[in-house]
């Protein structure tokens, strides 16, 4: 149900896409803070959200020059808050406040930067972001049917090496087909090509699952199965964006470094 909304937001770009990214990552940041609270920490969610929003708005409007003074202000204000409201572990609370907003904000900003690449960012975004979804689908179905060897049993018991390898194959092949389709739609003047789709799909399918395992590491440390229940049957927003954030970073630098 979320896929058509995401695809439409990518297609139209602009403020609509920014709003969708802000909404999803705001939910993800709240879920992150709720998770670490289960371990007894007390991150200041307001400062984490301010840092997140600052980084996302700066990616959309880099000419405003918000990042320098904004990040400095959030760092100093959040540290002053901990000095005035010291709880059981103020250093850890402050660190987690910054870590959540920084991780989601920096990586999330690449969703906006990828879509903003001129002149064909829309096609790159429509290639890189679905790529990890295609890889995840292949990994899930093969892993569930034939998976035997656990990939990371202490972090994500359901993941297997068979599923992971199937994800790489399916991610590469299906992204190849996806990029080929975009060239048929948009014409050969766009930089997206079937070869770029194959290469990008293989890289994303190989590396981006680490984003999923990173969130699993957080959840396992607090004995949580899902980050939230905002999406019935699929967990929370953080569960949905974990690998997508890595795909956005990989996709952006692939385009800048290898497809220019």
Same domain as 171, residue 85: no
Q: What pLDDT, on a 0 to 100 scale, did the predictor assign at position 232?
A: 60
163 and 242 within one domain? yes
Tell me the three state secondary structure of residue 150.
Answer: strand
Using N-to-C axis directions, what is the helix angle for 14-37 and 90-115, rounded to 10°? 160
What is the torsional sign of CA 132, 133, 138, 139?
positive
pLDDT in tens, 168-218: 999 999 999 999 999 999 987 889 999 999 999 999 999 999 999 999 999
Residue 4 forms part of a structural domain: no
Quick: pLDDT tens for 23-47: 999 999 999 999 999 999 999 999 9
The model carries a pTM of 0.95
What domain range includes position 248?
118-260
Domain boundary among 66, 89, 116: 116
Q: Are residues 122 and 219 in the same domain?
A: yes
Task: Let me know if residue 2 belongs to a domain.
Answer: no
Cα–Cα distance between 200 and 198 in angstroms, integer? 6
Give the count of domains, the chain: 2
Q: pLDDT-derived band of residue 1, with 50, 70 and 90 as boundaries?
A: low
Where is the domain boundary, 116, 132, 159?
116
Q: What is the pLDDT of residue 233?
A: 60
Residues 123 and 184 in one domain: yes
**Cβ atoms of residues 123 and 193 within 8 Å:** no
What is the tens place of the pLDDT at every residue in 74-132? 999 999 999 988 778 899 999 999 999 999 999 999 999 999 999 999 999 999 999 99
Average pLDDT score over the chain: 94
Report if residue 136 sits inside a domain: yes
Listed residue (114, 94, 102) closest to 54, CA to CA: 102
- Verify that 247 and 156 share a domain, yes or no: yes
Residue 154 exposed, middle or buried by CB count within 10 Å (0-12, 13-18, 19+): exposed
| pLDDT reported for residue 230 | 72
Is the domain of 152 the same as that of 198? Answer: yes
- Of 75, 91, 116, the one marking the end of a domain is 116
| Whether residue 125 is found in the same domain as residue 112 | no
| Strand, coil or helix: 231 | strand
């Amino acid at each position: 149900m979320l896929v058509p909304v995401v695809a439409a937001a990518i297609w139209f770009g602009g403020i609509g896409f920014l709003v969708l990214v802000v909404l999803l990552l705001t939910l993800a940041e709240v879920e992150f803070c709720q998770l670490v609270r289960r371990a007894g920490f007390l991150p200041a969610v307001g400062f984490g959200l301010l840092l997140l929003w600052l980084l996302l708005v700066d990616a959309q409007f880099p000419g405003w020059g918000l990042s320098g003074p904004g990040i400095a202000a959030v760092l100093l204000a959040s540290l002053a808050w901990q000095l005035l409201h010291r709880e059981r572990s103020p250093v850890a609370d402050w660190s987690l406040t910054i870590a959540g907003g920084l991780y989601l904000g920096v990586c999330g900003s690449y969703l906006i930067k990828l879509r903003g690449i001129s002149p064909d960012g829309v096609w790159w975004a429509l290639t890189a972001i679905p790529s990890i979804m295609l890889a995840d689908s292949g990994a899930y179905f093969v892993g569930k049917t034939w998976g035997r060897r656990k990939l990371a049993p202490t972090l994500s018991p359901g993941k297997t090496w068979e599923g992971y390898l199937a994800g790489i194959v399916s991610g590469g092949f299906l992204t190849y087909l996806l990029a080929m389709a975009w060239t048929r739609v948009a014409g050969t003047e766009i930089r997206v090509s079937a070869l770029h789709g194959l290469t990008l799909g293989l890289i994303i399918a190989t590396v981006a699952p680490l984003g999923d395992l990173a969130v699993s590491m957080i959840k396992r440390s607090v004995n949580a199965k899902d980050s939230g229940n905002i999406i019935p049957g699929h967990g929370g927003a953080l569960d949905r964006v974990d690998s997508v954030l890595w795909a956005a970073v990989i996709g952006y630098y692939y385009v800048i470094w290898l497809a220019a």
